[in-house]
Chain A
Amino acid sequence: MVGIGALTIGLGLISVVTANWEDIPAQIRLAIHLLLITAGLAAVLLREREFAQASPWSVEAFVFVLAILGLTFFGHLGQVYQTTSPLWQPIGVWVLLFGPLILVFGRSWLTAALLFGFFAYGCWDFALGDGLFGGGRDFKWTEYVVATSLPALFIPFAAWMRGRSARVSFWVRLEQAGLSYAVAGASVACVIASIDEFDGDEIGFSVHFTRLCIGAFAAVLVLVARPTVSGRMTAAILGATGAAMLFAFGVSDSEVMAGSVFMALWSGIAWAAVRVSREFAPPSDPASDAKSESAEHAA
């Protein structure tokens, strides 16, 4: 009953605000928006431990809502001052402002996916020059390959943090998001090669060779950060995705060869998954992190 009452009051407040949106002075609207964010930040600072003890998901949800409120502030500013910009610019500033907050207080997949998703989207919007919805920059292949490879560097970072933080679930999810991105990229490259859509020019080779180098570099970092069976398999998959992209580019005129690269990549991933599953199952519940965090604080 309390929940339904709170929901009804909340919906009523939203209805009143939306019905009178244009009549509310812009500066007051922005001030209330910033005030809500500030109150949320203060609550995290002062009450985070109590929230986490009550339910670790409450902190996760709180940080998620705060980050979304921050994201909508950019749209609100644009609405009030009639400003516009390529999407990668506000997303980039949002990552700079709210990324540290998520990295320090995030607990599980919700915030990990939010940060990774927007970071990857911003990178692609920047990389494509014109942007996914029109940004007005010239396309440069060096910017393209570096920007679209950047999200994969979350993998070694998360792998390194995983052994040094009580919030293991968050870092596992961030590492998984990065690995999924790399695997999806390599798979899409095989699909593109199978329909012979790669331009067989020098720039195309440079793009895919650079991706292989970045993948190999990230794989070495993962090996250094997490020299366990799971870490070694993650590094192997990461290196394989870089190699698969280069091979897919090389066999772009052959459907059978592109399909073979795709199958080899996924067979390798399946083999790595079997190797890891024999060793252990990674923790996926922030509640287990809360227990280890409490133990850490008690110590």
Chain B
Amino acid sequence: MNRLARLAVLALPFAGLGALWSQSDYDSRQGAFWDVAVRGYDPRDLLRGHYVDSCTIGTV
């Protein structure tokens, strides 16, 4: 296989992953930011034990 084709095959993962990263980063910067007030609580699940979860109590 010629060198150009090998180079293309090796460049494809780099270009593709780089493009995915750029797209994800761009998407994450779109839209509005919301500050949401939450309150922690212990759901006391019999199977999963004690842990902390949160519930929304309104927007700020």
Contacts and interface: CB of A to CB of B under 8 A. Distances in A.
Interface of A: 30, 34, 37-38, 41-42, 44-45, 66, 70, 73-74, 77, 80-81, 83, 93, 96-98, 100-101, 104-105
Nearest to B20: A77
A9 B24 CA distance: 33
B32 interface: no
22 contacts: A34-B14, A37-B13, A37-B17, A38-B14, A41-B10, A41-B11, A41-B14, A42-B10, A66-B13, A73-B20, A80-B24, A81-B24, A81-B28, A83-B27, A93-B16, A97-B13, A97-B16, A97-B17, A98-B13, A100-B9, A104-B5, A104-B6
Interface of B: 1, 5-7, 9-14, 16-18, 20-21, 24-25, 27-28
Given A38-B14, A101-B10, A104-B1, 6 more contacts: A41-B14, A45-B10, A66-B13, A70-B17, A81-B24, A104-B9
Nearest to B18: A34
Contacts of A30: 21
B12 A100 contact: yes
Contact of B25 (A81, A101, A104): A81
B60 to A, nearest CB: 21
A97 B11 CA distance: 9
Given A81-B24, A81-B28, A83-B24, A34 B17 contact: yes
Contacts of A100: 9, 12
Contacts of A96: 16
A31 to B, nearest CB: 9
A220 to B, nearest CB: 27
Residues of A contacting B: mostly? helix
A45 B6 contact: yes
Contacts of B9: 100-101, 104-105
A83 B7 CA distance: 31
Contacts of B17: 34, 37, 70, 73, 97
Contacts of A74: 20
B42 to A, nearest CB: 23
Given A37-B14, A45-B10, A101-B9, A93 B24 contact: no
Contacts of B1: 104
B12 to A, nearest CB: 6
Nearest to A44: B10
Nearest to A48: B6
A74 B20 CA distance: 9
A30 B24 CA distance: 12
Nearest to B15: A97
Q: Which 4 A-B pairs have the closest CB atoms?
A: A97-B16, A81-B24, A100-B9, A41-B10
